[in-house]
Amino acid sequence: MTIYIDVVLLENIAMNYIILSACGLIENRKVNILKILISSSIGGIYSILYYVLKESVLINILSKFLISILMVKIAFKSRKCKTFFKQLINFYIVSFMIGGVGFMLLFLISPKNIIFQNGHLVGTYPIKIALSGGIIGFSIITIISNIQKRKVENQICDIEIFYKDRNIKVSSFIDTGNLLKDPISNHAVIIVEKDSLKNLVDSSFIEELENVKKGKTISNGNDYIKNKIKLIPFSSLGNENGLLVGFKSDYIKIYNDEIKIVKNVIIGLYDGKLTSNHLYTCLIGLNILKESDISDRFIANA
């Protein structure tokens, strides 16, 4: 049986490209075509070497794992280990899914003269079967991803935060698990990325908040700031004794199905990023959406 190396190479590059593109789709991130192509080519070249060289099962498994790590690293260049491992897991899930669709097509079409050699299916079956499996698998992932994206978008609303003579509008995710409250005043707490608050409060105020979190005293004896700053204890997975620093806003407007006004809301500062794609920069609890002060006409018309 004649095996054409160039056909095997192109087939593997195409399949790797589809798999990596599907991974980017799952994570809702823009993929760099050149990086994806380079990563796919590395995987394709490895498939040729893997077919030619006859190594032990252990070495084959180890080499495949290392190549997959290299491919994901080149394609997405993640800086955080947590994000990278998530991408690596997605890579394997998508690979197994598309591979399963390909095997299903082979079973239905039943092409002749197929053999399993050095970990590869080779034979006279057309490349269209393999690519069709990849396209069908990619289409299924696209549909699932769009459904999930719409579900997430339905849980996002705009929030306008008012403090003194300033206000900002941020996109917020409705987090059903966020039930944070100030233990003293019992006021609800929303979590906002610190960088999103630059146009709402002065940098000196942010510094005061950070100093309070570190156990330092407020400078200049500013009683107004003392009354506004709040320390909220919280617990989460991996952090059972967390401490969130925040301040009391004048009120917030929630733009969901209707405009709601909620007073006595604590703005908790988050140092990092809530999402990698900047889809939202705030977390609001479902309990806050049930509260409103719409009867306050003066505020509602502000």
Instruction: Tell me which H or E stretch contains 283.
Output: strand 282-285
Q: State how far the alpha carbon of 242 is from the alpha carbons of 14, 214, 245, 266, 292, in Å.
A: 47, 13, 10, 16, 29
Residue 220, pLDDT > 60, answer no
pLDDT in tens, 165-210: 899 999 888 876 667 788 788 888 888 998 888 888 887 777 777 7
Asked if 77 and 35 touch (Cβ cutoff 8 Å), the reply is: yes
64-78, 123-137, 154-168: least confident range: 123-137
pLDDT mean over 277-298: 67
Parallel/antiparallel/unpaired status of strands 259-263 and 166-175: unpaired
Pair type for strands 282-285 and 266-270: unpaired
pLDDT digits (tens, 9 = 90+) for 111-124: 555 555 555 555 55
- Say whether pLDDT at 10 is over 90: no
Residue 36: what pLDDT?
A: 92
Q: Do the Cβ atoms of 58 and 130 come closer than 8 Å?
A: no
Least reliable range by pLDDT among 30-39, 157-166, 173-182: 173-182
- Predicted local confidence at residue 34, as pLDDT: 92
Q: For 55-81, what is each residue's pLDDT tens digit?
A: 666 677 888 889 999 999 999 887 788
Instruction: Kindly list the domain boundaries of the chain, sorted by start residue.
Output: 5-153, 156-300
| Range among 12-16, 133-137, 235-239 with highest mean pLDDT value | 12-16
Residue 19 has pLDDT above 50, yes or no: yes
Would you state the torsion angle of the CA atoms of residues 230, 236, 239, 242, taken in this order, to the nearest 10 degrees? 10
- For the chain, give the percent of residues with pLDDT over 70: 72
Give the span between the Cα atoms of 198 and 211, in whole angstroms.
Answer: 17
| pLDDT given for residue 302 in this prediction | 42
List, in sequence order, every residue forming a beta bridge with 267; answer none if it has no partner.
190, 247
Q: Check residue 38 and give its pLDDT.
A: 93
- pLDDT for res 161: 92
- pLDDT at 44 exceeding the cut of 60: yes
Give residue-wise pLDDT tens across range 234-274.
766 555 566 778 888 888 998 877 788 888 888 888 888 88
Residue 121, beta-bridge partner list:
116
pLDDT at 37 over 90: yes
pLDDT band at 296 (very low <50, low <70, confident <90, very high): very low
Tell me how far apart the alpha carbons of residues 202 and 70 are, in angstroms, rounded to a whole number. 44
- Strands (E) in 91-228, as ranges, are 114-117, 120-123, 156-163, 166-175, 189-193
Q: Which of 15-19, 99-103, 108-112 has the lowest mean pLDDT?
A: 108-112
